Amino acid sequence: MDKKYIATPIKTKEILQKYHFTFKKSLGQNFLIDVNVLKNIIGHAGIDKTTGTMEIGPGIGALTEQLAIHSDKVVAFEIDGRLLPILDDTLSDYDNIRIVHQDILKADVHDVIKENFQENQPIHIVANLPYYITTPILMKLLRERLPVESITVMIQKEVADRMAAQPNTKSYGSLTIAIQYYTEAKVVMNVPKTVFMPQPNVDSSILQLVTRSKPPVEVEDEDYFFTLVQASFAQRRKTLRNNLTSHFKGILDKDTINEQLEAIGIDGTRRGESLDMQEFSILANAFYKLQHHN
């Protein structure tokens, strides 16, 4: 039964040879060659025949095929023009797939959703993301507040750990806050290098992000909030007070920063990694008001 699927080593090699396809390092191309891993991704993604799915970087169509089998319609963004004729061929049995030849970072995803899915149809993003560009892609998708219920992606394990981290851990940082501001994040499974062709140098994880209807904290200004969070982690070994002093250099003096921290009850000798999102929102709101209401 599995023989006909794209995601096997034999079938993948066949397709690559037929089209004399060579991997582009610059596009971070690693194709999945294990049907069971794909079925696991599909299982975690919570899709069924009523759902629309979107994919980024379909490659030769291994995951796309499984999405087409299990969901109502698939729209996949592929930047590499060399793959378009291959996808035409490998996915020719399915009439519910649309390939969009566009860079996801430049695409108007809201428009693509409107054109391809029914109004109020549940939509899920499922993808094996190119490692070198995972964070910009996810941040774009989240910041644009797309009408999607979840994003389930195969990414580098270390990055997945950072996105799903808890305070007071090595992985916790500004990326954690940014991702968890928009979604509830969890690592649903780890994946060995051996299920890819070519094998990447890093281990992978499947990360699931379930979109929040609204952020867990209220902030005066989102950009300001994210900037201050980043500043708090600028040098992980430094205290919060020292990082803020560097950040506000020439704008706010040490005494003002200390007074502000005292007023909101956050100890300046703590490190950024010990603050949870609630505390970061209090911190950012206080400094925002200080700077904008004088």
CATH number at residue 201: 3.40.50.150
Q: Is the pLDDT of residue 3 over 60?
A: no
CA distance 269 to 286: 18
What is the count of structural domains for the chain?
A: 2
Question: Is 55 annotated in some ligand binding site?
Answer: no
> 194 and 258, same structural domain?
no
Q: What is the mean pLDDT of residues 124-144?
A: 93
Q: Which residue among 211, 237, 262 closes a domain?
A: 211
CA distance 157 to 153: 11
Closest CA to 175 of 212, 133, 229, 131: 229
Q: Is the pLDDT of residue 28 over 70?
A: no
Residue 216 included in any domain = no
Question: Is 81 annotated in some ligand binding site?
Answer: no
> 143 and 251, same structural domain?
no
The beta-strand segments (E) located in the chain are 31-32, 52-56, 73-77, 97-100, 123-128, 150-156, 183-191, 196-197, 204-211
Question: Percent of the chain, pLDDT > 90?
Answer: 87
Residue 217 included in any domain = no
Q: Is the pLDDT of residue 62 over 50?
A: yes
Question: Is 57 annotated in some ligand binding site?
Answer: yes
CA angle 50, 54, 60 (to 5 degrees): 115
Q: What is the mean pLDDT of residues 39-56?
A: 95
> 160 and 53, same structural domain?
yes
A 10 A CB-CB count for 11 gives 19
> 194 and 102, same structural domain?
yes
> 123 and 239, same structural domain?
no
Q: What is the mean pLDDT of residues 108-115?
A: 97
A 10 A CB-CB count for 116 gives 16
> 100 and 12, same structural domain?
yes
Q: Which residue among 211, 244, 277 closes a domain?
A: 211
> Residue 84's pLDDT band (boundaries 50, 70, 90)?
very high
> Residue 198's pLDDT band (boundaries 50, 70, 90)?
confident
> What does the pLDDT read at residue 199?
85
> 129 and 86, same structural domain?
yes
Average pLDDT over the chain reads: 93
A 10 A CB-CB count for 18 gives 11
- List 196's β-bridge partners, or say none: 32
Question: Is 129 annotated in some ligand binding site?
Answer: no
Tens-digit pLDDT profile for residues 255-287: 999 999 999 999 999 999 999 999 999 999 999
Question: Is 32 annotated in some ligand binding site?
Answer: yes
> Residue 41's pLDDT band (boundaries 50, 70, 90)?
very high
Residue 115: exposed, middle, or buried by beta-carbon count in 10 A (0-12, 13-18, 19+)? exposed
Helices 174-182 and 134-143: angle between axes, nearest 10 degrees: 40
Does residue 198 have a cis peptide bond before it, meaning omega lies within 30 degrees of 0?
yes
> 240 and 182, same structural domain?
no
Determine the structural domain holding residue 228 and report its residue range: 222-292
> What does the pLDDT read at residue 197?
86
Which amino acid would we find at residue 107? A
Task: Report which secondary-structure segment, H or E, holds 202.
Answer: none
**Residue 253: CB partners within 8 Å, gap ≥ 6?**
none
Residue of higher predicted confidence among 216 and 2: 216
> 186 and 96, same structural domain?
yes
> 266 and 132, same structural domain?
no
Q: What is the mean pLDDT of residues 28-52?
A: 91
Residue 275 included in any domain = yes
> 250 and 148, same structural domain?
no
Question: Is 128 annotated in some ligand binding site?
Answer: yes
C-beta separation of 60 from 16 below 8 A: yes
Q: Which residue among 187, 211, 235 closes a domain?
A: 211
R_g of the chain computed on alpha carbons: 22
